[in-house]
Amino acid sequence: MFLVWLNDNLYVERRVRRVSITDDGLGSFVEFPSDGEMAGFDVDDRKFVAISRVAGARIVEAADPGWTAFETALVRNGVIVEHLCPGDIARMLRARPRAKGIRSRKGRKA
């Protein structure tokens, strides 16, 4: 249903606000934070962060656990992420295999 709504309202100015972002020529965007803690952020998702900063809008994401590692840096840079399925994200993070030698939160080797 969301895609139908989006298609029907894509050019309705009272419902959709269009903003511009600037490609930096290096695979990112000028509006993406230059914060060192964001250096490892997924290149494919940087456009959403750049748009959020320009528009002042929150990002709503369903089940991508990759955003959680950057939550503090995102907030520090004015980006709020709303997770629609936090339980699913938590399950995915628990199910991820740990690299050898990496210590868990309880201090035991994984």
List per-residue pLDDT tens for the chain, 110 residues long: 888 988 999 889 888 888 999 999 999 999 999 999 999 999 999 999 999 999 999 999 888 888 988 999 999 999 999 988 888 888 888 887 765 544 444 454 44
Q: Are 32 and 50 in contact (CB under 8 A)?
A: yes
Within a domain: 86: yes
**CA within 13 Å, CB half, 68:** 16
- Residue 8 corresponds to which tokens in the numbers above? 């029907």
Predicted structure pTM score: 0.76
**pLDDT given at position 40:** 93
Beta bridge partners of 83: 61
CA angle at residue 7 from 49 to 18, to 5 degrees? 40
Within a domain: 34: yes
Place of tokens 């419902």: 15
Q: What residue numbers bound the domain in which 89 lies? A: 22-95
Within a domain: 109: no
